[in-house]
Amino acid sequence: MKKWLLILITSLIISISPNVYAVVELNTATQQELETLHGIGPVKAEAIIEYREANGGFKSIEELGNVKGIGSATLESIRKDISVWNPYWKKY
């Protein structure tokens, strides 16, 4: 009985964990993924996507501050939850 209870609890923790530690990639995220970020609703998510498409993607996390509606407080509150990667960048 204890063994099954432990397996059940472990399974629940594993199924929840990916959502807790997910990092949103600014250059590939969908609107729904962007909306999972604290303080980012549908309007800001759409603004991020429009900026990304108009400017060829983000080159740094700081560039997110150029998006209308994203202030320094919002940027700092989501910094740990976002990343910027461009598949066309070459590694040297």
Q: Could you state, in order of their start, the residue ranges of all structural domains in the chain? A: 21-83
* Backbone torsion region of residue 67, taken as left when φ is above 0, otherwise alpha when ψ lies between -120 and 50, otherwise beta: beta
Give me the phi and psi of 56, to 5 degrees please. 70, 30
* CATH superfamily ID and name for 21-83: Photosystem II 12 kDa extrinsic protein (1.10.150.320)
Judged against a pLDDT cut of 70, whether residue 68 lies above it is answered with yes
Q: Based on the number of CB atoms within 10 Å of its own CB, is 25 exposed (0-12), middle (13-18) or buried (19 or more)?
A: middle
Which tens digits make up the pLDDT trace of 6-63?
Answer: 666 665 565 554 445 579 999 999 999 999 999 999 999 999 999 999 999 999 999 9
Written as six digits, the tokens of 25 are 């990639």
Q: Based on the number of CB atoms within 10 Å of its own CB, is 69 exposed (0-12), middle (13-18) or buried (19 or more)?
A: middle
